[in-house]
Amino acid sequence: MESDLHAISTRFRAVAPACDYWTLRVVATREERLAVRQGVPEPVARSRALGAMVTVEVDGGIGYGATSDLSGSGLRRAAGEAVAWARLAARLPLPGAEQLTRLATSGDYASPVEDPWDGVSAADKLAWLAATAPRLRAGEQIVDWFAALYHRDQQVLLADGAGHATLQHFSWVAPTLRAVASDGMLTESRTVGGANAVRQGGLEQLASLGFPDRADAVGEEALALLAAPPCPSGSTDLLLMPSQMVLQIHESIGHPLELDRILGDERNYAGTSFVTPEMFGSYRYGSELLNVTFDPTLPEQAVSYAWDDAGTPAERAHLIRDGLLERPLGGALSQLRSGLPGTANSRACDWNRPPIDRMANLNVEPGATPFAELVGGIERGVLMDTNRSWSIDDSRNKFQFGCEFGRVIRDGELGEVVRDCNYRGISAGFWRNLAAVGDAETFHVAGVLNCGKGEPNQAVFVGHASPACVFRDVDVFSEA
């Protein structure tokens, strides 16, 4: 597979179409999945992808052509498709969306990697998994156990006809440790990593994601859940650990603040938003303890980058400060359409999908309360850890989440383990009941591997970091 993306860009310049403006985005991706289930290595699966998207602006219309044929003739055909669609778009334009974002800078970015994925052979990594997986089997009632490692390497080149070019080289790792316990009537599972833990970097990141040290605890906690009573029901205090805060931030802050949803683009698929343009600058989203940032600067976080896929330089910005809503998650085109400020979050999942407004790194900033005081401040409540179920309405208001693992809290002390933990609420009221925010010691950097959105559909990585947080008067339950 061709590895010099600049050479592809040079090849395209020779066949670039006559148009008002063009960009070329070339994406090269390499992935590997290794797993051991019940002592048996799963088949090693590798993939390599390389393709390009040509986007053009013609007479106020924008069109794209994407292809895996990167020969001169293939790129010329893709450009022809882009021009044809741009001309049709000019006939039926969405007002305000006719301007292709102009690149203004050039440069390079690379993930910081200490221990490269390729520095350890597949055989050695499989041996590591084979040695780890048995630790998940804490007893006879563990009926399925699974340890896995995933790696993605991706280079993204974005260039334009004016000579600008940015080249970004990303490396991600994501581990999974999972144990399933069953007594034949009831089945409970415990997971570390999985769909909610991905980091930028190399193998050095695995330890902070719990791999492999959490393996014993995963198996033991699965057995504990099998023997545990159901989560109690009622309105109570809720202590959410970072592994659940990831989903709470994602669904009830991230998605409602996406500007393309507010502009109506997603109403046929991912949905709209209860947030309206008038709310920015004045709406109380949460209690004064709530501070939410768009932060592309944490080097290990999944979606730190120097530019988004529209070429806009990425900078840290507060979306919610002291509980007040300041700005949406909107890329340059959405900012133009709405007249609102935004962020560099125009992102595409691959070469064959166009950029749209996405979350990147979206974090709740740490507060000042140590974990012991979070627990100590709760007279009656439940601690919930690790998302296992998520559902929210299409305007991102009425939600219900489920967690793998819970513990009752009584009189400021952690009590027994409880299973089948669910809670539900309405976004606005929920965040206003944020009563305590954990300090930096409770702050954990994680992410989501499968955020789906867009037409055509796109699944992307998203970074979320959060401390543990306490919410008052939450409706928790096991059975609806």
Partner 1 sequence: MITRDAFDTLADALLAEAQGGEVLLLGYYAEDTDFARLNRARLRQAGHVAQRELHVELIDGARHASADIQLQDDAQADLAQARAELASLRELLPQLPEDPYLAYAAEVRPSESVADGELGTREAWLDAIAASADDLDLVGLLARGVQAHGFANSLGQRNWHAAASFNFDWSLHAAGGRAVKSRYAGSRWNPEQLTARVAAARRRLDALARPTQTPATGHHRAFLAPAALGELLDLLGWGGFGLKSLRTGQSPLQRLADGRDALHPAVKLREARAGSPAPGFSEAGYLLPAEVSLVEGGRFGSALAGPRSAREFGVDVNARMEAPEALEMDGGDLAEADVLATLGDGLYLSDLWYCNYSDRNACRITGMSRYACFAVAGGELAGPLAPMRFDASIYDLLGDGLQALTRERERLADASTYERRSTATQQLPGILVDGFPLTL
Q: 40: Cβ–Cβ under 8 A, 6 or more apart, which residues? A: none
Tell me whether residue 265 or residue 385 sits nearer to partner 1 (CB atom): 265
Measure the CA angle with vertex 397, ends 392 and 399; round to 5°.
35
Q: Is 119 a binder of partner 1 (CB under 8 A)? A: no
Binder of partner 1 out of 70, 215, 253, 465 (CB under 8 A): 70
Q: Is 248 a binder of partner 1 (CB under 8 A)? A: no
Q: Is 466 a binder of partner 1 (CB under 8 A)? A: no
Tell me whether residue 366 or residue 402 sits nearer to partner 1 (CB atom): 402
Report the site for partner 1 in 272-291 (rule: CB under 8 A).
272
Query: Is residue 204 helix, strand or coil?
Result: helix
Binder of partner 1 out of 16, 93, 116, 161 (CB under 8 A): 93
Name the one range near partner 1 by CB under 8 A: 100-108, 209-217, 268-276, 408-416: 268-276
Binder of partner 1 out of 3, 92, 278, 282 (CB under 8 A): 92
Q: Is 81 a binder of partner 1 (CB under 8 A)? A: yes
**Region class of 201: left (phi > 0), else alpha (psi between -120 and 50), else beta:** left
Residues binding partner 1: what is the number (CB under 8 A)?
89
Q: Is 88 a binder of partner 1 (CB under 8 A)? A: yes
Query: Is residue 95 helix, strand or coil?
Result: coil
Question: For the chain, how big is the Rg over CA atoms in Å?
Answer: 23
Tell me whether residue 299 or residue 452 sits nearer to partner 1 (CB atom): 452
Q: Is 294 a binder of partner 1 (CB under 8 A)? A: no
Cα–Cα distance measured from residue 450 to residue 245, given in angstroms and rounded to the nearest whole number: 16
Report the site for partner 1 in 159-218 (rule: CB under 8 A).
180, 182, 184, 186-187, 189
Name the one range near partner 1 by CB under 8 A: 191-199, 237-245, 265-273, 280-288: 265-273
- What are phi and psi for residue 244, nearest 5 degrees? -100, -30
Name the one range near partner 1 by CB under 8 A: 119-127, 151-159, 301-309, 428-436: 119-127
Q: Which whole-number Å values give the CA distances from 353 to 79, 183, 335, 458, in the listed order?
A: 15, 45, 21, 7
Sign, Cα dihedral of 462, 468, 471, 476? positive
Report the site for partner 1 in 419-458 (rule: CB under 8 A).
420, 422, 424, 426, 452, 455-458
Report the site for partner 1 in 349-378 (rule: CB under 8 A).
350, 352-354, 356
CB 150 within 8 Å of CB 450: no
CB 266 within 8 Å of CB 408: no
Tell me whether residue 229 or residue 264 sits nearer to partner 1 (CB atom): 264
User: Hey, what are 26's tokens?
Assistant: 């070339």
Query: Element (H or E) spanning 431, and its range?
Result: helix 427-432
Report the site for partner 1 in 386-425 (rule: CB under 8 A).
389-395, 397-398, 400, 402, 420, 422, 424
We find the least distance from the C-beta atom of residue 238 to partner 1, in angstroms, to be: 16
Tell me whether residue 106 or residue 182 sits nearer to partner 1 (CB atom): 182
We find the least distance from the C-beta atom of residue 393 to partner 1, in angstroms, to be: 4
Report the site for partner 1 in 5-44 (rule: CB under 8 A).
40-41, 43-44
Tell me whether residue 3 or residue 163 sits nearer to partner 1 (CB atom): 3
Tell me whether residue 60 or residue 112 sits nearer to partner 1 (CB atom): 60
Cα–Cα distance measured from residue 12 to residue 401, given in angstroms and rounded to the nearest whole number: 48
Measure the CA angle with vertex 68, ends 66 and 73; round to 5°.
85
Q: 349: Cβ–Cβ under 8 A, 6 or more apart, which residues? A: 458, 459, 460
Nearest to 90 by CA among 55, 56, 58: 58
Tell me whether residue 199 or residue 353 sits nearer to partner 1 (CB atom): 353
Cα–Cα distance measured from residue 199 to residue 300, given in angstroms and rounded to the nearest whole number: 6
Name the one range near partner 1 by CB under 8 A: 5-13, 71-79, 362-370, 429-437: 71-79
Nearest to 66 by CA among 457, 454, 351, 455: 351
Binder of partner 1 out of 9, 17, 57, 74 (CB under 8 A): 74
Query: Is residue 240 helix, strand or coil?
Result: strand
DSSP state of 458: E
Report the site for partner 1 in 124-143 (rule: CB under 8 A).
126, 143
Residue 333 burial class via C-beta count within 10 angstroms: exposed 0-12, middle 13-18, buried 19 and up: buried
- What are phi and psi for residue 297, nearest 5 degrees? -105, -10
Tell me whether residue 208 or residue 478 sits nearer to partner 1 (CB atom): 478
Query: What mask, x for binding partner 1 by CB under 8 A, covers residues 302 to 341?
Result: ----------------------------------------
We find the least distance from the C-beta atom of residue 33 to partner 1, in angstroms, to be: 10
DSSP state of 307: B
We find the least distance from the C-beta atom of residue 67 to partner 1, in angstroms, to be: 5
Q: Is 269 a binder of partner 1 (CB under 8 A)? A: yes
User: Hey, what are 266's tokens?
Assistant: 């997603």
